[in-house]
């Protein structure tokens, strides 16, 4: 019997504040799975009309699936969050695009009719589990020259992207990074970010005093308001002598979690759930692993073609800022100015942080807020580069669109 494809919508999204990885970070004493649990519980609190037993799946992404990020995290986090044991779950990995892939994978199942509503998100505790911990790359990658050795080091791939596009200079990257910090600070000042953050109780240890106490994480730790071009100019280039990639024009090493509710539109409306974005299309693409930051371009080409749209139809962009040069390459390809007002209006990962597998849902949550504020915009997209040479793009439609021209 032929099936009717159902419209899929973004109902809600939340996240923990993002922290700095390492002993001085806010989540040094906090488990990764507990971060996911906080996000899932917040989704349920914010949507009290949703019967948890109706949730059909919990898909949670993590890049390093060991320790407290292992053991089929979607299933275990669901149980820990108090969901009925009848609700299944699983883990997913597409490195930086983990949470984004959790959304698209479950969205496909919703469109097919297998699910009505799901929880999709991601977590990365890079303080407990550094990127690449426990992995064993096959020596054939390098010995048979399948990829350049630099493909295994994300910072080096960003330097390679600078090499490929020398007009994307360090100064342009630094200028972009300053704007990201400024926009993030303004978004906080205007109350655009806090409404989607779930406070997290954190244990803090003071080595000097030998004491352990408790605190509350309520805002993103990595932000550096007041960053200037002068301060960025003096930073070290750790991936290459006299390079262009620094800690100032790249996202840091971070901890944090995200979660979203994705549903069939008919289900959402029947259960009085908000419809904040409508899924239009999504695509993934591969590129040379040594220039993985180029990945969003072919992924966006595919997603736009599927939707019958062009880049000029996109009124808002949420581009993950793994590295400033990666965003600049995307904008340069499409002839979009470095400071175009449609791009990352609240700032991006250079300011907030990029806990790998969790970041895709942060992009979606911020885009959903912008859709609400700008009903004249019909289409927006979320896009990100992915380790080992991939890109991921999702095109969204604004359900609040009032017939404007964008």
Residues 6+ apart with CB under 8 A from 50: 44, 117, 261, 271, 273
Q: Is residue 246 within 8 Å of residue 236, measured between CB atoms?
A: yes
Distance of alpha carbon 181 from alpha carbon 360, whole angstroms: 19
Distance of alpha carbon 204 from alpha carbon 271, whole angstroms: 41
Q: So which residues are the catalytic ones? A: 96, 354, 385
Q: Is residue 279 within 8 Å of residue 8, measured between CB atoms?
A: yes
204 DSSP β-pair partners: 213
Can you spell out the DSSP letters for 196-258?
A: GB--EEEEEEETTTTEEEEEEE-S-SS--TT--HHHHHTS--TTSTT-S--SSSB---EEEEE
- Buried-state track 292-311, b at ≥16 Cβ within 10 A, e below 16: bbbbbbbbbbbbbeebebee
Give me Rg for the CA atoms of the chain. 20
Sign of the four-CA dihedral 120, 126, 131, 132: negative
Distance of alpha carbon 306 from alpha carbon 368, whole angstroms: 21
Q: Is residue 176 within 8 Å of residue 342, measured between CB atoms?
A: no
Distance of alpha carbon 23 from alpha carbon 125, whole angstroms: 12
């Amino acid at each position: 019997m032929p099936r009717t494809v159902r419209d899929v919508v973004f109902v809600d999204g939340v996240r923990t504040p993002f922290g700095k990885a390492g002993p001085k970070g806010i989540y040094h004493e906090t488990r990764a799975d507990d971060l996911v649990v906080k996000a899932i519980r917040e989704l349920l609190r914010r949507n009290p009309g949703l019967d948890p037993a109706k949730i059909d799946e919990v898909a949670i992404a993590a890049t390093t699936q060991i320790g407290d990020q292992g053991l089929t995290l979607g299933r275990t986090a669901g149980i820990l969050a108090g969901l009925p044991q009848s609700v299944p779950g699983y883990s997913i990995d597409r490195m930086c695009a983990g949470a984004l892939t959790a959304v698209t994978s479950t969205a496909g199942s919703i469109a097919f009719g297998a699910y009505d509503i799901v929880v999709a998100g991601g977590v990365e505790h890079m303080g407990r589990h550094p990127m690449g911990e426990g992995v064993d790359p096959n020596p054939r990658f390098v010995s048979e020259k399948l990829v350049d050795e630099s493909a295994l080091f994300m910072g080096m791939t960003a330097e390679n992207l600078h090499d490929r596009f020398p007009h994307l200079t360090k100064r342009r990257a630094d200028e972009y990074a300053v704007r990201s910090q400024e926009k993030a600070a303004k978004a906080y000042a205007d109350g655009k970010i806090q409404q989607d953050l779930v406070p997290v109780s954190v244990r803090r240890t003071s080595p000097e005093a030998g004491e352990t106490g408790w605190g509350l994480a309520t805002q993103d730790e990595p932000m550096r308001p007041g960053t200037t071009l002068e301060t960025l100019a003096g930073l070290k280039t750790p991936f290459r002598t006299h390079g262009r990639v620094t800690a100032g024009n790249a996202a840091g090493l971070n901890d944090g979690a995200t979660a979203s509710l994705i549903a069939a539109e008919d289900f959402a409306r029947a259960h009085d759930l908000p419809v904040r974005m409508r899924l239009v299309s999504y695509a993934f693409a591969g590129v040379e692993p040594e220039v993985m930051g180029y990945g969003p371009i072919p992924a966006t080409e595919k997603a736009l073609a599927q939707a019958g749209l062009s880049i000029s139809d996109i009124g808002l962009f949420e581009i993950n800022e793994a590295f400033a040069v990666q965003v600049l390459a995307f904008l340069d390809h499409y002839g979009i100015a470095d400071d175009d007002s449609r791009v990352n209006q609240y700032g991006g990962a250079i300011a907030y942080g990029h806990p790998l597998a969790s970041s895709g849902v942060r992009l979606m949550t911020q885009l959903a807020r912008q859709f609400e504020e700008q009903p004249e915009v019909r289409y927006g997209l979320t896009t990100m580069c992915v380790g080992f040479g991939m890109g991921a793009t999702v095109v969204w439609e604004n359900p609040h669109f009032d017939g404007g021209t964008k």
